[in-house]
Structure 1
Amino acid sequence: MEKSLKKRPLSVLQSINKWGTIIAIVVLLAFFTVIMPDIFLTSSNIINILRSISIVTIIAIGLTVSLSVDGFDLSIGSTATLSSSLIVSFFVWYNLPAGIAIPLAIVLTLIVALINVLLIVKIKIPDLFATLSTMFIFEGVAMTYTGGGSISEGMPRLDGSPTEGKLPVVFDKMGETPWIIMIMILVVIIVHVFLNHTKHGRYMYMIGGNIEAARLSGIPVNRYKTFAYVISTLFAALGGIILASYLGSAQINSGAGYLMPAVAAAFIGSSFAGNGKPNAIGTFIGAALVGILENGLVMMSVPYYSLNIVKGMVLALALASTYYNRK
Structure 2
Amino acid sequence: MSSPSTELTARMKIQDGVVKYGFIVVTIVLFLYFSATEPSFRTSGAIFSMLKYASVTAILGLGMTFVMAVGGMDLSIGSTAGLAVQMAAMTMVFYNLTAATAVVAVIAAGVLVGLLNAFLVVVCRIPDLLATLGVMFVIQGAKLIPVDGQSVSAGMTLRDGTPAPGKFDPAFLQIDRGSIGPVPFPVILMLVLTVASWFILDRTRWGRMFYAIGANAEASRLAGVRVDLFRGLAYVLCGLFAAVGGLILVSRIGQGDVNAGASSLLEAVAVALVGTSALGIGKPNAWGTLLGALLVGIVLTGLTMKGFQYYHQDTAKGLVLILALIFSFTISRNKARFISAG
TM range (shorter): over 0.9
Q: Quote the residue 2:241 is aligned against.
A: 235
Q: Give the Cα–Cα distance (whole angstroms) in 1 for the partners of residues 85 and 315 of structure 2.
A: 29
Q: By how many angstroms is 1:312 displaced?
A: 3.0
Match among 255, 259, 266 for residue 253 of structure 1:
259
Q: By how many angstroms is 1:45 displaced?
A: 1.5
CA deviation vs aligned residue, 1:71-123 (integer Å, no higher than 9, x gap): 11000111111111111111111111222221123213422122212211111
TM-score normalised per structure 2: 0.90
Q: Give the Cα–Cα distance (whole angstroms) in 1 for the partners of residues 266 and 96 of structure 2.
A: 34
Say whether the 8 Å CA contact 1:92–1:166 is kept in structure 2: yes
**In 2 relative to 1, CA 201–299 (structure 1 residues): closer, same or farther, beyond 3 Å?**
same
Q: Does residue 130 of structure 2 align to residue 121 of structure 1?
A: no
Aligned pairs for 1:137-176 within 5 A:
137-176=138-177
**In 2 relative to 1, CA 134–9 (structure 1 residues): closer, same or farther, beyond 3 Å?**
same
Q: Helix, strand or coil: the match of 1:252?
A: coil
Counterpart of 1:10 in structure 2: which amino acid?
A: M
**In 2 relative to 1, CA 157–208 (structure 1 residues): closer, same or farther, beyond 3 Å?**
same
Q: By how many angstroms is 1:310 displaced?
A: 4.0
Q: Helix, strand or coil: the match of 1:12?
A: helix
Q: Quote the residue 2:2 is aligned against.
A: 2
Say what the alpha-carbon RMSD is for the aligned residues: 1.8
Q: Does residue 319 of structure 2 align to residue 313 of structure 1?
A: yes
Say whether the 8 Å CA contact 1:20–1:318 is kept in structure 2: no
Q: By how many angstroms is 1:145 displaced?
A: 2.3
Q: Quote the residue 1:269 is aligned against.
A: 275
CA deviation vs aligned residue, 1:240-271 (integer Å, no higher than 9, x gap): 12111010011013112211111100111111
Say whether the 8 Å CA contact 1:78–1:253 is kept in structure 2: no
Q: By how many angstroms is 1:300 displaced?
A: 1.2
Q: Give the Cα–Cα distance (whole angstroms) in 2 for the partners of residues 202 and 109 of structure 1.
A: 25
**In 2 relative to 1, CA 78–311 (structure 1 residues): closer, same or farther, beyond 3 Å?**
closer
Q: Quote the residue 2:298 is aligned against.
A: 292
Counterpart of 2:119 in structure 1: which amino acid?
A: L
**In 2 relative to 1, CA 62–313 (structure 1 residues): closer, same or farther, beyond 3 Å?**
closer
Q: By how many angstroms is 1:156 displaced?
A: 2.5
Q: Is 175-184 or 301-310 further displaced after alignment?
A: 301-310
Q: By how many angstroms is 1:319 displaced?
A: 4.5
Aligned pairs for 1:49-60 within 5 A:
49-60=50-61
Unaligned 5+ runs, structure 2: 337-342
Q: Is 287-296 or 299-308 further displaced after alignment?
A: 299-308
Unaligned 5+ runs, structure 1: none
Q: Quote the residue 2:339 is aligned against.
A: none
Q: Give the Cα–Cα distance (whole angstroms) in 2 for the partners of residues 227 and 102 of structure 1.
A: 21
TM-score normalised per structure 1: 0.94
**In 2 relative to 1, CA 42–268 (structure 1 residues): closer, same or farther, beyond 3 Å?**
same
Counterpart of 2:132 in structure 1: which amino acid?
A: T
Q: Helix, strand or coil: the match of 1:175?
A: helix
**Count of residue pairs the alignment pairs up:** 326
**In 2 relative to 1, CA 263–166 (structure 1 residues): closer, same or farther, beyond 3 Å?**
same
Q: Helix, strand or coil: the match of 1:271?
A: helix
**In 2 relative to 1, CA 270–321 (structure 1 residues): closer, same or farther, beyond 3 Å?**
closer
Q: Quote the residue 1:217 is aligned against.
A: 223
Q: Helix, strand or coil: the match of 1:143?
A: coil
**In 2 relative to 1, CA 235–314 (structure 1 residues): closer, same or farther, beyond 3 Å?**
closer
Q: Quote the residue 1:180 is aligned against.
A: 186
Q: By how many angstroms is 1:5 displaced?
A: 5.8
Say whether the 8 Å CA contact 1:20–1:319 is kept in structure 2: no
Identity over aligned residues, as a percent? Answer: 39
